[in-house]
Amino acid sequence: MAIDFVKEIERLKKEKNAVIMGHYYQTGDIQDIADYIGDSLALAQMARKTDADIIVLCGVHFMGETAKILCPDKKVLVPDATAGCSLADSCPADEFAKFVAEHPDHKVISYVNTTAAVKALTDVVVTSSNAKQIVESFPADQKLIFGPDHNLGSYINKLTGRNMLLWNGACHVHEKFSVEGIIKLKKEHPGAKVLVHPECPAVVVALADKAGSTAGLLKYALSSDAKEFIVATESGILHEMQKKAPEKVFIPAPPEYSEAKVGCSCNECNYMKQNTLEKVYLALRDEQPEVLIDEELRKKAVLPIDRMLEISAKLGL
């Protein structure tokens, strides 16, 4: 008989005092069974707060790692341990360590999309929800390194007037939105607001009515008077947008321009989509794959995440 994954997940969650946290880029069925969904900042904040014994982090590996760094006494499970991140991969710790060593007078700001080893080289971690405010919390004359996302770093440099040294990393999903495709969609839907994640290149961000983290884009879409939105970030976020505002129309921005087909919903993160309901069920049942981190590394990596959470709390983020 086929297993009812939703029912089994509910049962195992209660039996094991487990909590399921999911990123907005997860498939709709996973978002629907998650106890909490959010962007990278919210997931870190929720991990810090939960009193569950087990966290099942439905996202990609660095998100599970961040939860484990924050909660060493809890069991942190991920549905698929091979779900990586092209952005985190674009910043190998040994190369980043050399870059940091070449600039000893710089403080290091790292995007949360990094491995624990890169976080251990970092002064403050940021997410797209708090990067601007955290950069501004440094004195104007403090020299800064920002890694690994070059697009987000350039965007923050522009917003703050800083001149941070940027690591040349990128996310393969946000890199490939088509400017021509978005312009064509905008002509077809003249009243639509364009929502863009700042991991996208500057030419795409330039088209935005609102640039922001996934949570920021969601908030804007819900409070805006507009009825239509063109969304240039991973298409998983459309599930929550549509759920919270069923009367509005959310159009995924196309990853490539094509006369024949514009507006396809195929700009998905293949890593995020490796997770399935079955894998969530198996992770809970078998209590693996478990995220484990060397304690020495964890102690170094937790400091910049704690700083981020402290600054964010002070700023009410």
How many Cβ atoms from other residues are within 10 Å of residue 67's Cβ? 25
> Smallest distance from the beta carbon of 214 to ligand 13P, in angstroms?
4
* x/- letters, 12..51, toward ligand 13P (CB under 6 A): ---------------------------xx-----------
Q: Residue from 60, 135, 194, 241 that binds ligand SF4 (CB under 6 A)?
A: 60
Contact at 8 Å (CB) between 210 and 193?
yes
Residue 171 binds to ligand SF4 (criterion: CB under 6 A) = yes
Give the interface segment with ligand 13P, choosing from 124-132, 220-228, 258-266, 274-282 (CB under 6 A): 124-132
Q: Is residue 100 within 8 Å of 106, Cβ to Cβ?
A: yes
Task: Choose the binding region for ligand 13P from 127-135, 181-189, 290-298, 306-314 (rule: CB under 6 A).
Answer: 127-135
For residue 39, state whether it binds ligand SF4 (rule: CB under 6 A).
Answer: no
For ligand 13P, give the closer residue by CB, 238 or 262.
238
Nearest to 189 by CA among 229, 221, 147, 156: 229
Tell me: does residue 213 bind ligand SF4 (CB under 6 A): no
Two tokens at 154? 């350039």
Could you give the count of Cα atoms lying within 13 Å of 74 in the half-sphere of its Cβ? 26
Q: Is 125 in the site for ligand SF4 (CB under 6 A)?
A: no
Which residue in 229, 225, 226, 227 sits closest to 212, CA to CA? 229
Q: List the one residue out of 1, 6, 3, 4 whose CA is nearest residue 20.
A: 6
Q: Does 115 bind ligand 13P (CB under 6 A)?
A: no
Residue 149 beta carbon to ligand SF4: minimum distance, rounded to whole angstroms: 8
From 99-107, 169-177, 181-189, 207-215, give the range in contact with ligand SF4 by CB under 6 A. 169-177
Identify which of residues 54 and 173 has a Cβ nearer to ligand SF4 in the complex: 173
Position of minimal CB gap to ligand 13P: 39
Per CB under 6 A, the list member of 46, 234, 238, 308 interacting with ligand SF4 is: 234
Question: Which of 113, 115, 122, 178: binder of ligand 13P (CB under 6 A)?
Answer: 113
From the list 89-97, 123-131, 156-164, 301-309, the region that binds ligand 13P by CB under 6 A is 123-131
Give the residue, chosen from 55, 152, 173, 241, that forms a contact with ligand SF4 under the rule CB under 6 A: 173
The token pair that represents 48 in the structure block: 């810090």
Contact set with ligand 13P (CB under 6 A) = 39-40, 113, 127-129, 171, 199, 213-214
Q: Which residues are near ligand SF4 by CB under 6 A?
A: 25, 60, 85-87, 113, 171-173, 234, 269, 271-272
